């Protein structure tokens, strides 16, 4: 097993230790569990395609949205 040392300011260590304790873990075990967790999006995260499928494209734009769509670009955005 590889060991890595990371130095944090005391106030950050106390905050992280409190998070770990709330889950019944030591700070070291909590950090180890984070390091070994599978890399996947947490629940509540969606792809753009999933979000668009939930939209009703027949709903008319509000006045505010219509004004925004008709406004000239102010940066490098494009539609």
**Spatial contact of 27 and 16, defined as CB atoms under 8 Å apart:** yes
Whether 29 is in a domain gets the answer yes
Whether 28 is in a domain gets the answer yes
Quote the number of domains for the chain. Answer: 1
**Closest C-alpha to 30, from 21, 42, 40:** 21
The pair phi, psi for residue 21, each rounded to 5°, is -65, -35
The C-alpha atoms of residue 12 and residue 18 are separated, in whole angstroms, by 10
Residue 13 domain boundaries: 8-37
- Segment 17-40, tens digit of pLDDT: 999 999 999 998 888 888 777 656
Whether 20 is in a domain gets the answer yes
Q: Indicate if the pLDDT at residue 78 is higher than 80.
A: no
- Segment 3-16, tens digit of pLDDT: 777 788 899 999 99
pTM: 0.42
């Amino acid at each position: 097993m590889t060991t890595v040392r990371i130095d944090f300011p005391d106030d950050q260590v106390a905050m992280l230790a409190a998070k770990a304790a709330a889950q019944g873990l030591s700070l070291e075990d909590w950090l180890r569990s984070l390091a070994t967790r599978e890399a996947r999006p947490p629940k509540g995260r969606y792809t753009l395609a999933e979000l668009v499928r939930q939209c009703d494209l027949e709903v008319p734009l509000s006045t505010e949205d219509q004004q925004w769509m008709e406004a000239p670009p102010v940066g490098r955005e494009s539609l």
